[in-house]
Structure 1
Amino acid sequence: MAFSLAEQGVIFIVGAGLCCFLFYLTLRAFYRITLHPLASYPGPTLWSISDLPSAYQTFQGTLPFKISSLHAKYGPVVRIGPNNLTYIVEEAWTDIYARKVELRKDPSQFVIVGEEKVSGLLTAPDEEAHSRMRRNLAHGFSEKALRGQEYIIRGYVDLLMQRLHENCGKGTVDIAKWLNFASFDIIGDLTFGESFNCLETSNMHKPREMLMKKQFWVQLIFDNLKSISLLGLMKKFPPLDKILLSLLPQNAMGKQQEHLALTEAKMMRRLKSQESRLDFLSEVQNQINKPSGMSKAELLPTVNLLIVAGSETTANLLSATSYFILTNPSCLSNLQAEVRNAFKTEEEINIVSVNSLSYMLAILNEVLRLYPPSPTSFNRLTPLGGCQIAGKFVPGNTSVAVNQWAANHSATNFVRADEFIPERWMGADEFAVDNRRAVQPFSVGRRGCIGRNLAYAEMRLILARLVWNFDVELAEESRDWMKNPRVFLVYEKRPLLVHLKPVIRG
């Protein structure tokens, strides 16, 4: 078939363009492998050439687990992208997240639809703004505040126990669902001064603004996190990112906007409330819009963070704790003996008395190691002039992070790293060489988790009350609960089915 001269010209131009593009990709790949400032760092060749392999793993929800296998093969620091390094050594925690002059967050990691016009606590770019916001919130997370909030927390734990007793003898119980109900109600009350009524109604709460919608708010939180994670992939491929974002279904992009609107409505009701109570926003309310306080624009993304961090992470951690102790009978037996011998009555169990349960703390620390609530890396960018990380100079504008899952599961940091052994946190000789400081589930530095004390208090109280009230057995259909988990900032929700039997006391 003959082509006209014009057609031949078009074919030639297209072919030449394609050849030039392929030549450019080849030269870029050659540069990234041999001449790039990170060329000396170990890692798989394809990952050094392109961000596509890590993007694929993120899309599959398997990136932390793949990074762990790469560290096992290549060592304590691995190049997982043309401009990305990941670490598993203790020193990297301080060098990346707790420097005297902070490393700025990598803006290409996540996408927030309708980018925040004003930054909240999590995304505040400068240290002064972050410190001011944290000072305002710190009052609500202090030890004094925690003691004052105990009656709120205990009220929901009481209701959780009541609901679990009501479901005894009715077949299997999804303990993960009930733990999510409890954590969501607690964080809602401590943040907004009103419950989501998950435990009260035994269902995922539908806020007034959502009565005509099928989407529940708790599920919306996970969908929101998932969309932030997946949309973040597109920023790695400019200028295609803008094209791809414009092609996304409105439903996908609307999840973040919908969640933000619901959060704002609750926040405004709390700020207008005249009730005197010690919660997360009590001090913030007194200083709102003052120079030393927070603006409403800053508060909105901040309370959005509090709801997510205070519900999903605690519920996931308690669910994982339930799974690990139920699949390790000796650990369960030891925990039952500790809790049931420590108290004469259930009323004695409170946020102070549970601090005496040393074996329980070891269990929680081991679960935090094996199943960190946020197994995703949180990337920082090195300064333009570069800096030292883990004893080696890293060029400027490099994205660096410690991956918690990889660090916590590394055989270089822990003996029998993949096994659930609470005794490693109790001074057992076999684990004397464990590098326990490599485990930092709440991060480190000025931006470490503000809710650490609350998280430990809530987890200890719920776990102690659960062990005091029930003999629990894992249902056969949940034996593989830990098999092939998926992560989109947090773990994808899975039912954890158990059999509950009330403890009978003489």
Structure 2
Amino acid sequence: MAATRLPYIRMILGGRFPQGTKALHQQYGDVVRIAPDELSFIDGAAWKPIYGTRVGHGQKSKDHRFYAPTPGEAPSIIVSNDADHSRFRRLLSHAFSESSLRSQETIIKGYIDLLMQRLHENIDGGTSTVDMVAWYNFTTFDIIGDLAFGEPFDCLKNSEYHQWVSIIFSSLKYGAYANVSVWPSSQRLFEFVSVSHLTASHSPANFADAEQFIPERHLDNPRFANDSKTAMEPFSFGPRNCIGRDLTYVKMRIILTRMVFNFDRELDQPEKNWMDRECFVLWNKPKLMIKLKPRVHSKRS
């Protein structure tokens, strides 16, 4: 890793970058060199100095290989420089604020109502399985389409991805190919640093029973008193963290509540390894086949 970028490139092109980085941290510790010019950290204390700001210093420069704007196109909020990013963020922040989301709650709930309706129509009374990855994605893109553009992509209505949504998914892999490069040592102008999301959140150094889904760890449970809660930042950290965090929480809470209320759920393939998946910027999620059985609620007198 210290001598050449080839192992790094191989991990990215194979869609195994998160898993490969995790394996390196398991072998070498909290800080590892994943390329001649790049270091990966998993300590929670690394988030602020890497992704945050300091008075008089501003933000650190971003990796130009990943954040390069498309030639001939105006830069988006993701790849824009600090000044433009701050301007974009100010313009968009109100739309994603808690008060704004409350005012849009009727729209959000409308699509979740449609999700429940479509699931009931497709489960044959509990005898058929449905791919919940697809249905959750349909709901997400319809909500985002309506909130951002004033009309949905009609994924829920048509039970399939809109062509533009399909293009987004297919382009992620090509983006990974476009972002890799072999840099001669003479052109090593910077040392790139990052925090590995997957590894930091699944490291025994940060969490007890790190590979287990145990929601109680986020409560006052003495078993997890030594967990490093600051190591997990699923929406990233600092001025460029995910602007849609509050929207995500709203959708998750309502959808989860409605799913629990409406259906009993059974995983169709419990033996499948859901974590061993390709990742090209986003995870390539497999089908999540679930048998849903409508719940019967007794009427209260």
With normalisation by structure 1, the TM-score equals 0.55
Q: After the TM superposition, which residues 329-408 of structure 1 pair with which residues of structure 2 at under 5 Å, given as runs?
A: 397-408=190-201
Match of 1:128, SS?
helix
After superposition, give the CA deviation of every residue in 1:400-439 in whole Å (9 maximum; x if it has no partner).
1001011111111011111111110111111000001110
Return the alpha-carbon distance in structure 2 between the equivalents of residues 105 and 479 of structure 1.
Answer: 40
8 A contact 1:99–1:445 mirrored in 2: yes
- Give the equivalent residue in structure 2 for 1:487: 279
- In the alignment, does 2:148 pair up with 1:201? no
Return the alpha-carbon distance in structure 2 between the equivalents of residues 501 and 146 of structure 1.
Answer: 31
Given residue 102 of structure 1, which amino acid in structure 2 is its aligned partner? Answer: Q
- In the alignment, does 2:248 pair up with 1:455? yes
Return the alpha-carbon distance in structure 1 between the equivalents of residues 60 and 113 of structure 2.
Answer: 43
Match for residue 168 of structure 1 among 123, 127, 142: 123
After superposition, give the CA deviation of every residue in 1:56-115 in whole Å (9 maximum; x if it has no partner).
011111111111111111111111111110000112100100022211111123666x42
How far 1:163 sits from its partner (Å)?
0.4
- In the alignment, does 2:87 pair up with 1:155? no
Given residue 232 of structure 2, which amino acid in structure 1 is its aligned partner? Answer: V
Return the alpha-carbon distance in structure 2 between the equivalents of residues 445 and 110 of structure 1.
Answer: 16
- In the alignment, does 2:64 pair up with 1:118? no
Given residue 499 of structure 1, which amino acid in structure 2 is its aligned partner? Answer: K
Bigger radius of gyration, 1 or 2? 1
Match of 2:48, SS?
helix
- Give the equivalent residue in structure 1 for 2:172: 225
Unpaired segments ≥5 residues, structure 1 = 1-46, 206-215, 239-394
- In the alignment, does 2:233 pair up with 1:422? no
Return the alpha-carbon distance in structure 2 between the equivalents of residues 118 and 217 of structure 1.
Answer: 20
8 A contact 1:424–1:431 mirrored in 2: yes
Match of 1:109, SS?
coil
Return the alpha-carbon distance in structure 1 between the equivalents of residues 33 and 222 of structure 2.
Answer: 35
How far 1:159 sits from its partner (Å)?
0.2
- Shift in alpha-carbon separation, 1:116–1:67, aligned structure 2, 3 A: farther
Return the alpha-carbon distance in structure 2 between the equivalents of residues 116 and 403 of structure 1.
Answer: 32
How far 1:481 sits from its partner (Å)?
4.5
How far 1:148 sits from its partner (Å)?
0.9
How far 1:222 sits from its partner (Å)?
1.3
Given residue 172 of structure 2, which amino acid in structure 1 is its aligned partner? Answer: L
Return the alpha-carbon distance in structure 1 between the equivalents of residues 86 and 213 of structure 2.
Answer: 37
8 A contact 1:108–1:236 mirrored in 2: no
Return the alpha-carbon distance in structure 1 between the equivalents of residues 275 and 44 of structure 2.
Answer: 28
With 217-226 and 194-203 compared, the bigger mean Cα shift is at 217-226
How far 1:174 sits from its partner (Å)?
0.8
Please provide the CA RMSD for this pair.
1.7
Q: After the TM superposition, which residues 256-271 of structure 1 pair with which residues of structure 2 at under 5 Å, given as runs?
A: none
Return the alpha-carbon distance in structure 2 between the equivalents of residues 434 and 180 of structure 1.
Answer: 32
- In the alignment, does 2:19 pair up with 1:59? no
Match of 1:104, SS?
coil
After superposition, give the CA deviation of every residue in 1:359-418 in whole Å (9 maximum; x if it has no partner).
xxxxxxxxxxxxxxxxxxxxxxxxxxxxxxxxxxxx971011001011111111011111
- In the alignment, does 2:145 pair up with 1:188? yes
- In the alignment, does 2:45 pair up with 1:91? yes
Return the alpha-carbon distance in structure 2 between the equivalents of residues 223 and 121 of structure 1.
Answer: 21
Match for residue 206 of structure 2 among 410, 413, 416: 413
How far 1:475 sits from its partner (Å)?
0.6
Return the alpha-carbon distance in structure 1 between the equivalents of residues 140 and 132 of structure 2.
Answer: 12
- Give the equivalent residue in structure 2 for 1:103: 60
After superposition, give the CA deviation of every residue in 1:334-353 in whole Å (9 maximum; x if it has no partner).
xxxxxxxxxxxxxxxxxxxx
Given residue 92 of structure 2, which amino acid in structure 1 is its aligned partner? Answer: L
Return the alpha-carbon distance in structure 1 between the equivalents of residues 284 and 9 of structure 2.
Answer: 18
Match of 1:105, SS?
coil
- Shift in alpha-carbon separation, 1:481–1:185, aligned structure 2, 3 A: farther
Match of 1:415, SS?
coil
8 A contact 2:22–2:198 mirrored in 1: yes
> What number of residue pairs does the alignment pair up?
290
8 A contact 2:16–2:278 mirrored in 1: yes
How far 1:225 sits from its partner (Å)?
1.6
How high is the sequence identity, in percent, across the aligned residues? Answer: 42
Greater helix percent: which structure?
Answer: 1
- In the alignment, does 2:23 pair up with 1:69? yes
